[in-house]
Structure 1
Amino acid sequence: MSKTILITGSSSGIGRAVAMYFQLRGWNVSATMRQPDKENELEKLDGVRLFPLDVLDENSIHKAIEGTIQHFGSIDVIVNNAGYGLVGPFEASTHDQVKKQFDTNVFGVMNVCRGILPYFRAKKAGTIINIASVGGRITFPLYSLYHGTKWAVEGFSESLHYEIKPFGIKVRIIEPGAIKTDFYQRSMDVVHRDELTAYDQYVDKTFNNIQDIGNTAAGPEVVAKKIFKAATDRGWRLRYAVGGGAPALLFMRRILPNSWFFAAVRMVAEKARK
């Protein structure tokens, strides 16, 4: 019998690529998103079913899980992909913006995990794949709030894996580097306050440098391939770095003194633009 994967945030980017990658390999795909009525491509693929799911609405999470099980007979893997990026000087952010960032990227992941765990625990099997980021273990300027959420996902996932391993449930953390998706356009908000000009010169110098890295990176298919590996691995490996030089960056972070690594980040982020 074909295995079934449920993916949050399937309307674009990594989530959409994952849905298509697994479908091509014969999996049943529950592609969830906030507004499935606006999707007209995935629903045409064999073995794909769309479900509405808002990671901040626990009722919609339960309905999507129950609907997937009813339609496909089971869930074997769940991918927490839905995310949101808030970038810019921290001082320019508002309470509501910070709340939205953590609600989506942290509490949304926790809500979905809480929703699926009773089913996986009863089944004594299942894999939870949380999409973190290379930015969950290293940082770049102007991304303090986004990094804060991804570091939280890393810590949450690492601790969770101890608790649920006795029930046969695996946790995987996917750590993408820069990936060319609409994250750098549609899914990203830039904080700004007209009256706060102290950071303008620094933002002008660094923001586009960091954007350029994403705009010239590999596409989301490389992440989908890594997620497939994580979903089908038989062992208990926790972390999977992928794309955008992520493995190399994490290696450098481990071996270099802080001062050297921070200097390297500044060299890339703060370089003068021609």
Structure 2
Amino acid sequence: MSGTILITGASTGIGRTTAELFLNNGWNVVATMRSPENAGDLADHANVLVTRLDVTDETSIASAVDRAQSRFGSIDVLLNNAGYGAYGPLEATPMEKIRRQFDTNVIGLLAVTKAMLPIFRAQTSGTVINVSSIGGQMTFPLGTLYHGTKFAVEGLSEALHFELEAIGVKMKIIEPGMIRTDFGGRSFDFSNDETMSEYQDTIQKLFAVFGDAANGGSDPSVVADVIWQAVTDGTNQLRYRAGADAEEFLDNRKNLDDATFIAGLKAQLGL
């Protein structure tokens, strides 16, 4: 199987690794990113189009989709991967950061999807893959904004799968656990106010646990392999987990009542 995949956030991490996997399997890849100069050697391949796409800029979305169609004709798969995590006490988070988190992870994802749907509807085929997280089914402290966006991605994706089925389009949700990417770097936006002393103990304990978990997280290739499976397995399966910790956390969340699951998580975090 081969075709054309458009990937948002393709410069690093899961997006970059997935672009390389599909490229190595004979696909055309539309590698979109806010700063195309960061594409590196991806731009050297004849069947790769590197183009600018900022999910918060509708003009850039339309331009990227137009360029992809002009270059490759059809587009078979949309991978909504671009996003980041805003963490910290809500009280310490400026409203502009709150809006930016939802504009990027939710509104931006919807905008890119909406731009692609006329193409898929005309083709009567296509696959939309939304990268969610275990954080779309469960939460960690201080993740009000990030988890809010990922719970939204889960809900909108599940709802979309009904209407997209009518035009021949499949909807898939990917739920990674902790992955060794730059999520703790440029893709991580933390807000704090140290004068709010009541929150600082929780912050320190969460950082200690997250640091250890990130160092032991799965390689981005684990997620790329699951995305490949979702595209090529020929099923209508909606959700796919990625990583051993994703399996463990999501099984526990499914099988335990709220009080038991939350108590266990607090014990793990030392809260």
Q: Please, what TM-score do these two structures have when normalized by structure 1?
A: 0.95
* Structure 1 letter corresponding to 2:112: V
Give me the whole-angstrom Cα distance separating, in 2, the residues matched to 1:2 and 1:195: 55
Give me the whole-angstrom Cα distance separating, in 2, the residues matched to 1:102 and 1:211: 25
Aligned length: 271
Give the CA RMSD over aligned residues: 1.3
Contact 2:92 2:192 in 1 (8 A): yes
* Structure 2 letter corresponding to 1:106: V
* Structure 2 letter corresponding to 1:69: Q
Give me the whole-angstrom Cα distance separating, in 2, the residues matched to 1:211 and 1:104: 24
Shift of 1:84: 1.3
Contact 1:141 1:269 in 2 (8 A): no
Aligned to 1:227: 227
Aligned to 1:215: 215
Q: Which moved more, 1:231-240 or 1:41-50?
A: 41-50
Structure 2 counterpart SS, 1:211? helix
Report matched runs for 1:162-201 at 5 Å: 162-201=162-201
Aligned to 2:137: 137
Q: Which runs of 5+ in 2 are unaligned?
A: none
Aligned to 2:102: 102
Structure 2 counterpart SS, 1:26? coil
Shift of 1:44: 1.7
Shift of 1:105: 0.3
Shift of 1:69: 1.2
Q: Which moved more, 1:151-160 or 1:260-269?
A: 260-269
Give me the whole-angstrom Cα distance separating, in 2, the residues matched to 1:195 and 1:67: 49
Shift of 1:194: 3.9
Shift of 1:187: 0.8
Shift of 1:248: 2.0
Give me the whole-angstrom Cα distance separating, in 2, the residues matched to 1:244 and 1:149: 23
Give me the whole-angstrom Cα distance separating, in 1, the residues matched to 2:125 and 2:95: 39
Shift of 1:39: 2.4
Cα deviations by residue, 1:150-202 (Å, 9 ceiling, x for unpaired): 00000000001111101100100000010010011221011012432221122
Give me the whole-angstrom Cα distance separating, in 1, the residues matched to 2:134 and 2:250: 7
Give me the whole-angstrom Cα distance separating, in 1, the residues matched to 2:200 and 2:76: 48
Cα deviations by residue, 1:216-266 (Å, 9 ceiling, x for unpaired): 111100000000011112111100011151122111111112111111111
Q: Which moved more, 1:191-200 or 1:89-98?
A: 191-200
Contact 1:142 1:207 in 2 (8 A): no
Give me the whole-angstrom Cα distance separating, in 2, the residues matched to 1:227 and 1:258: 30
Q: Which runs of 5+ in 1 are unaligned?
A: none
Q: Which moved more, 1:143-152 or 1:250-259?
A: 250-259
Aligned to 1:53: 53
Aligned to 2:78: 78
Contact 2:87 2:144 in 1 (8 A): yes
Write out the 4+ residue segments of structure 1 that deviate beyond 3 Å after TM superposition. Answer: none
Give me the whole-angstrom Cα distance separating, in 1, the residues matched to 2:194 and 2:242: 37
Give me the whole-angstrom Cα distance separating, in 2, the residues matched to 1:12 and 1:161: 28
Give me the whole-angstrom Cα distance separating, in 2, the residues matched to 1:264 and 1:186: 30
Contact 1:87 1:191 in 2 (8 A): yes
Give me the whole-angstrom Cα distance separating, in 2, the residues matched to 1:76 and 1:104: 23
Contact 1:217 1:244 in 2 (8 A): no
Give me the whole-angstrom Cα distance separating, in 2, the residues matched to 1:197 and 1:45: 52
